[in-house]
């Protein structure tokens, strides 16, 4: 399995750095190779083509990202706690790796439609976690019944994604982790007064 060879990881990590520092469109294969300390041609022993580097990068990093979220949310009891943990872990992980945050929120979005379609494949696992939590919330009579799962998913993911993107675009000048609770409240209670 190529994925376990050291050069595979070297190249992925080099790609994250190079893209974060130079931007998507200035990240030539040769730059990635140089940063990874291998020859240009070597890249093609581990990846089919340039797109494959990016897809693998996303699968790898997002795989870990989602796995962590799965673990953390599973360790909580109620749907509300799980959702809070999801928001926190989402923010926490991207806070912890600034390069990765730039790459996933800004640079990789410049990729073409096909690449984005493959990226969406990876995200399905994340969306499944959301769906699961919401379902549990409904069963616990915490969340409303009869909500369209797709819309719920889009609200939750859209809110988190937009929040992180704004934070990255503001060059990460504030602490996004501190906002997890308020975001969670917004998702659970919306805009309205609890009583209204």
Partner DNA sequence: TATGAATGAGATTTCATTCAT
Partner DNA sequence: GATGAATGAAATCTCATTCAT
Q: Point out which residues bind a second copy (CB under 8 A).
A: 23-25, 83, 106, 109-113, 116-117, 120, 134, 137, 141-144, 147-148, 150-152, 154-155, 157-163, 166, 169, 179, 182-183, 186-194, 196
Angle at 83 between CA 16 and CA 157, to 5 degrees: 50
Nearer to a second copy, 10 or 51 (CB): 51
Candidates 24-32, 130-138, 140-148, 153-161: pick the segment binding DNA (CB under 7 A): 24-32
Find the shortest distance in angstroms from Cβ 45 to DNA: 5
Do residues 91 and 177 touch, judged by C-beta distance below 8 A? yes
Nearer to DNA, 43 or 134 (CB): 43
Candidates 27-35, 55-63, 87-95, 141-149: pick the segment binding DNA (CB under 7 A): 27-35
Q: How far apart are CA 121 and CA 160, in angstroms?
A: 18
Residue 38: name its binding partner from DNA, a second copy, none (Cβ under 5 to 8 Å by kind): DNA
Q: How many CB atoms lie within 10 A of CB 31?
A: 18
Do residues 155 and 127 touch, judged by C-beta distance below 8 A? no
Q: Dihedral of CA 143/144/150/151: which sign?
A: negative
Nearer to DNA, 38 or 122 (CB): 38
Find the shortest distance in angstroms from Cβ 145 to DNA: 49
Do residues 96 and 36 touch, judged by C-beta distance below 8 A? no
């Amino acid at each position: 399995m190529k994925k376990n060879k050291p050069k595979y990881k070297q190249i992925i990590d080099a790609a994250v750095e190079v893209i974060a520092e130079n931007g998507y469109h200035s990240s030539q294969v040769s730059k990635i190779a140089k940063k990874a300390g291998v020859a240009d041609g070597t890249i093609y022993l581990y990846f089919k083509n340039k797109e494959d580097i990016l897809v693998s990068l996303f699968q790898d990093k997002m795989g870990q990202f989602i796995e962590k979220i799965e673990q953390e949310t599973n360790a909580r009891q109620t749907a509300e706690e799980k959702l809070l943990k999801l928001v926190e872990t989402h923010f926490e992980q991207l806070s912890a790796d600034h390069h990765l945050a730039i790459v996933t929120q800004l640079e990789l979005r410049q990729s073409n439609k096909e690449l984005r379609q493959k990226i969406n494949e990876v995200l399905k696992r994340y969306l499944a976690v959301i769906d699961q939590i919401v379902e549990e919330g409904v069963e616990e009579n915490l969340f409303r019944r009869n909500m369209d799962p797709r819309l719920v998913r889009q609200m939750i993911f859209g809110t988190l994604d937009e929040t992180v993107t704004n934070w990255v675009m503001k060059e990460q000048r504030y602490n996004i982790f501190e906002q997890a609770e308020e975001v969670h409240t917004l998702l659970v209670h919306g805009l309205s007064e609890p009583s209204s």
